[in-house]
């Protein structure tokens, strides 16, 4: 059963409300014992991540009692949770604080990502900025839209197509495994510019709004990409994997390529394969 307009509205409202209660009051006010590392020293989780995910999960279970909920921190606690995306008819995928390193270090470039899948396909995506209280939403077949609490939604369109050497976008060699970082660095010199915001939510937002041309990310976690990939596709862009696979929220590993067109995606894939 497709997600209804009422469900869309309630999901947006609950994310805004939870962010107001659990994220914003902690921003630049976290005590040292409210932050800890997970897999690596810079892979952080804070009490805001936990509180936000718990609150969104509880609200989603009330709104959509038949949906499976897959949150980043729930998967960190039990890796089997991620399999619910493949198993459930409907799943809600949550990144409660995307860009946690930024958030924990007092940087405003963080957000909340939420995606809904139906039969393993992403049908709704929300990319929310709790600092500015604005968001990008995407519907399968319904476009990508920039939204504010009081304004009319603005339909989004990706940047114009251009040669690879003229492209600007988001990528970091440090996002690749250590043995591939040198080669990745060389590959990135083929673009006009490559930046990193350390936040998939805002990197996708900038890409979907046509302000950059690509994003390359060697970590394919669905909570980082499901919402943004849909938003990009609905704005006229393309998403795929470096190894040639089509992107799917079921993918757990590999390098994601996101670009403003299918042609650009293939050009980036060909360029990276020459180096990696």
Q: Can you say which residues are annotated as belonging to the binding site for Mg(2+)?
A: 72, 95, 98, 224
Binding-site members are 72, 95, 98, 224
| 26 vs 48: CA distance, rounded Å | 7
CA angle 206, 211, 212 (to 5 degrees): 85
Tell me 175's DSSP state: G
Beta-sheet pairing, 111-118 with 90-98? antiparallel
Element (H, E) at 239: strand 238-241
CB 114 within 8 A of CB 15: yes
Backbone angles phi, psi at 265, to 5 degrees: -60, -45
Which strand (E) or helix (H) includes residue 183?
helix 181-188
**Residue written as tokens 């590999």?**
254
How is residue 256 written in tokens?
């994601």
Tokens of 154: 């603005």
Q: Are 242 and 112 in contact (CB under 8 A)?
A: no
Backbone angles phi, psi at 251, to 5 degrees: -70, 130
- Residue 10 to residues 4, 78, 135, 190, 248: CA-CA distances in angstroms? 10, 28, 14, 44, 25
Distance CA 130, CA 226 (A): 19
Q: Length of the chain in residues, anyone?
A: 276
């Amino acid at each position: 059963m497709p997600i209804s307009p009422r469900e869309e509205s309630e999901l947006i409202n609950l994310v805004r409300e939870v962010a107001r209660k659990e994220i914003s009051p902690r921003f630049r006010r976290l005590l040292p014992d409210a932050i800890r590392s997970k897999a690596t020293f810079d892979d952080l989780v804070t009490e805001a991540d936990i509180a936000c995910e718990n609150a969104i999960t509880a609200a989603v279970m009330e709104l959509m009692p038949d949906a499976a909920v897959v949150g980043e921190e729930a998967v960190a606690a039990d890796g089997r949770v991620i399999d619910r995306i493949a198993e459930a008819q409907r799943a809600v995928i949550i990144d409660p604080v995307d860009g946690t390193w930024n958030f924990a270090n007092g940087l405003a470039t963080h957000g909340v990502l939420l995606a809904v899948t139906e039969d393993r396909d992403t049908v709704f995506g929300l990319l929310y900025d709790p600092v500015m209280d604005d968001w990008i939403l995407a519907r399968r077949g319904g476009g990508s839209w920039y939204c504010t609490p009081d304004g009319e939604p603005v339909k989004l369109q990706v940047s114009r197509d251009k040669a690879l050497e003229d492209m600007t976008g988001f990528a970091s060699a440090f996002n690749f495994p250590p043995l591939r970082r040198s080669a990745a660095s060389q590959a990135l010199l083929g673009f006009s510019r490559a930046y990193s915001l350390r936040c998939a939510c805002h990197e996708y937002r900038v890409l979907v709004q046509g302000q950059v041309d690509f994003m390359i990310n060697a970590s394919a976690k669905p909570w980082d990409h499901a919402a943004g990939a849909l938003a990009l596709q609905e704005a006229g862009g393309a998403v795929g994997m470096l190894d040639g696979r089509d992107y799917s929220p079921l993918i757990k590993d590999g390098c994601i390529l996101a670009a403003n067109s299918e042609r650009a995606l293939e050009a980036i894939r060909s360029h990276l394969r020459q180096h990696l």
